[in-house]
């Protein structure tokens, strides 16, 4: 997938030579032995992203299968026209890919697709790089220019992650699509007050649309409500993998969870929305 990437220094195309990505101007980027490559602008220090502890918690929680229905809904949100034969292998870019859970689920059912996982967290990318043989893992800052060639992505997915509207629009093909997953204010409502977690802003959806307009327009929107029965260990993993992990003292959190029932029913409330380029071909989603 090197030909789908571009140099973060000069935006020139990249090619793979052994375990090094090179551009025509001589900029070089080593592929780490763990399977990912860092493509960051010069003199720019990447945010560390999710910590090893957060990544381990995410991997543990996702392994329980509680978000399997969400992965299926992401797949269902992919426009049907993207399933049609293409001259080149389809490319899906996962922005804020984490461990590659949703990206690998898409690729498993689409043998003619390949994926690029973008994230700032090296611990997450180590897992994403081995989540599927057709995933290329790239460390970068998704708030900056993406190290992806113009108009080369057939699909972008963005699950619980930051998004850069103009850059997503730039890398999407004219007939491409973006699938975004965001929580509603009802998400994890049983835990927000009980454990003093971060809530979801009521205007989150409006801000999402503002960030993507005018280049991208919504063509499909589905709300997904999941009821999950979690034990204390799963409950801890769910909280430790998300944004509240940055804001809640870990010892205090553990004490509060220990005081909760051995089994708790928790509601996941999510919006799965599909966007297409405003100038693209109008198609049914």
Answer yes or no: is 27 within a domain. Answer: yes
Q: Which of 81, 88, 77 is nearest to 282 (CA)?
A: 81
Q: What does the pLDDT read at residue 245?
A: 79
In a domain, 265, yes or no: yes
Q: What string of DSSP letters covers 258-277?
A: HTS-SEEEEEEEEEEEEEEE
285 located within any domain: no
Nearest to 253 by CA among 161, 204, 191: 191
Residue 61 belongs to a domain with what CATH number?
3.40.50.150
Q: Tell me whether residue 284 is in a domain.
A: no
Q: Look at residue 157 and tell me if it is in a domain.
A: yes
Per-residue pLDDT of the chain (285 residues; tens, 9 = 90+): 899 999 999 999 999 999 999 999 999 999 999 999 999 988 777 888 999 999 999 999 999 999 999 999 999 999 999 988 887 899 999 999 999 999 999 999 999 999 999 999 999 999 999 999 999 999 999 999 999 999 999 999 999 999 999 999 999 999 999 999 999 999 999 998 888 888 888 898 999 999 999 999 999 999 999 999 999 999 999 999 988 877 778 888 888 899 999 999 999 999 999 999 997 544 333
- The answer to whether position 282 is within a domain reads no
| Residue 60 resides in a domain | yes
Q: How many domains does the chain have?
A: 1
Length in residues, the chain? 285
- Structural domain span for residue 161: 2-277
If one counts every other C-beta atom within 10 angstroms of the C-beta of residue 23, the result is: 19
Using CA atoms, how far residue 219 sits from 79, 90, 168, 173, 213, in Å, is 9, 21, 16, 16, 13
pLDDT of the residue at 64: 96
**166 located within any domain:** yes
Cα 65 to Cα 140, 189, 230, distances in angstroms: 28, 20, 11
């Amino acid at each position: 997938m090197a030909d789908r990437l571009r140099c973060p220094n000069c935006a020139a195309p990249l090619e793979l030579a052994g375990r090094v990505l090179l551009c025509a101007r001589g900029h070089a980027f080593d592929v780490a032995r763990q399977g990912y490559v860092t493509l960051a602008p010069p003199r720019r220090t990447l945010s560390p992203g999710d910590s090893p502890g957060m990544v381990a918690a995410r991997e543990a929680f996702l392994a329980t299968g509680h978000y399997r229905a969400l992965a299926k809904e992401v797949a269902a949100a992919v426009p049907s026209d993207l399933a049609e034969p293409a001259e080149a292998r389809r490319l899906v870019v996962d922005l804020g890919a984490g461990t590659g859970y949703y990206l690998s689920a898409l690729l498993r059912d689409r043998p003619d697709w390949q994926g690029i996982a973008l994230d700032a967290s090296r611990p997450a990318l180590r897992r994403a790089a081995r989540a599927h043989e057709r995933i290329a893992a790239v460390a970068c800052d998704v708030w900056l220019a993406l190290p992806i060639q113009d108009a080369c992505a057939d699909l972008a997915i963005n699950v619980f992650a930051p998004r850069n509207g103009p850059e997503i629009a730039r890398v999407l093909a004219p007939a491409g699509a973006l699938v975004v997953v965001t929580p509603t204010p009802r998400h994890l409502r049983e835990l927000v007050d009980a454990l003093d977690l971060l809530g979801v802003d009521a205007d989150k959806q409006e801000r999402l649309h503002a960030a993507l307009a005018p280049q991208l327009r919504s063509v499909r929107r589905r709300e997904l409500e999941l009821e999950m029965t979690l034990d204390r260990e799963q409950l801890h993993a769910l909280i430790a993998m998300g944004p509240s992990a940055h804001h809640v003292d870990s010892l205090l959190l553990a004490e509060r969870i220990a005081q909760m029932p051995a089994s708790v029913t928790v509601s996941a409330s999510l919006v799965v929305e599909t966007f297409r380029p405003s100038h693209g071909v109008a198609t049914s989603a």
